[in-house]
Structure 1
Amino acid sequence: MPEGSCTPLKWLTSISLSAFLSVSLLSACGSGDEPASNATNTTNATINPTSLPDNAPEVGTNIRDVANSAPKDVPEDVTEDKAQTATKTQTKATAAKVDKNGFREISWDELSPEGYEQNKIMDKYQPLIESTPEGSPEENKIFDKMMAELNSAPANAKLDGEKIKIPGFVSPLDEKDGKVTEFLLVPYFGACIHVPPPPLNNTLLIKPKASDAIPLEKSYDPVWVVGEMQVKTSSTDLAEAGYLIESASIEVYDVDTEEAKKAAATENP
């Protein structure tokens, strides 16, 4: 979808929740280069400029899409099969991915407690969305009500105290000497700044180690966050977060490296 275009809610009833959230929040934005009207914006334009550099991801890009990028230099008809196989293999292996320091790689799906199905909220509101005139005040009210319910989603208490590693995008909160010293980790690019924030249980407040503060010019790139998870609600200038990681280690999310890993997983499931 081109940046700045609006996606009617009617088009969204047949796609997954994660895709719905990233795309529908984009529709609230109106323009990829201006902050969303119902997103809470930082007052520091240096940290979160309204215009993006040419090398920034498209607003709304989901970390799942980055993580599931197909390996390069493979014929198109083979790539899709390999990518799908690798994704399934990785999903099954996620729980077993523990590094030498005991940090377990988790997926964004694990941030919701077991048995909690956000898609049921979508299913409840879908008939109302389909039967309401597109773009009408009534449709907006339904959308707002649905988002409020999604935003009340509980965090996963089982993650409290766990040593985890999770990929995501950076929404800067504070900076010092040109480096981001505090940020929200979110599942899609531009969340809380250029589009509204994700649900509370899909938002993490990150306080990196001083040595791992992120240079502002690198804050557009996806990262790995490594640290001990705290299930704790925090209010920030941009959004509320359901999780907190202090003294976090930050690692570059190298797309080429991750693609190589997926290719290896495909060949050796």
Structure 2
Amino acid sequence: MDVELRHLRAFTCVARHRSFSRAAEELLITQPALSRTIAQLEGGLCVRLLDRSSRHVALTDTGAEFLVHAERVLATLDQALAAVRHRVTLRLGFSWLLPAPWAQRTVSHFEEATGASVELTRTDDPLQALRRRTVDIALVRGDIDAPRGARIVHLYDEPRIAVCSERCDLARLGHLDWTDVQYWPLVVNTVSGTTGPWSWPVDQRPAQIIDTANYDEWLETVAANRGIGIVPEAARDRTQHPALRFVPLTNAPSSPVSLVYAPDAQRTLIRRFLEAAIPG
């Protein structure tokens, strides 16, 4: 008989609990299925490993001896798997400001559950990095022009907020309405920004657009009072710049946050990452 890992894990679990019902609960299988697995093991080995009665389960002498070796085999295997998993990496691409505490919670749960690690890759264009396969999964804010065949998983929506220079007249106003953005010069991150002229109907778009190519350029252009910016509210709590001021933005549509991945890349790891990212 070919003894399989499922036989050893089933036997050691029953031996540890001295109960088929409790072992079945731990192994997430039915009690009849567990009983069949143990019967297969005993039948293939032509020995009785467990004494059963309606009230208790006990090891036979042979079962006690077999348990020592079975536990040693499983422990050695688990150590080998842990050593390999420790070297397995999932590359998460992002352009700026991973959401907190979502990112920390997700990475922690994923690494604890799999033994693999997450490599955080900052890139101006996460979708381009996904196309080039330099990341395995990308966190993207705003509307998505995903690579062909890519899968998109919506996480949640973020409120928007206006940001301007401390020298800008907007800094002295209590708020800005979404429909009034058109009257201000708008600084846009054309690569990974969440807000641009495409965010409004043609007749409501800002008349003056200042393009920048990444988050740092966008930030310093707004700080230099070349125009105002629109960002997710997460930036207010995470951006420390003495020349910037954040202004509430009313009636603005929320900005989506999504994960994007290629279905043929790191399937098992990505599935486990999604389980950690979207609990329940």
> Whose relative contact order is higher, 1 or 2, with alpha carbons under 8 Å and at least 6 apart?
1
TM-score (structure 1 length as normaliser): 0.22
Looking at CA atoms only, which structure, 1 or 2, has the larger radius of gyration? Answer: 2
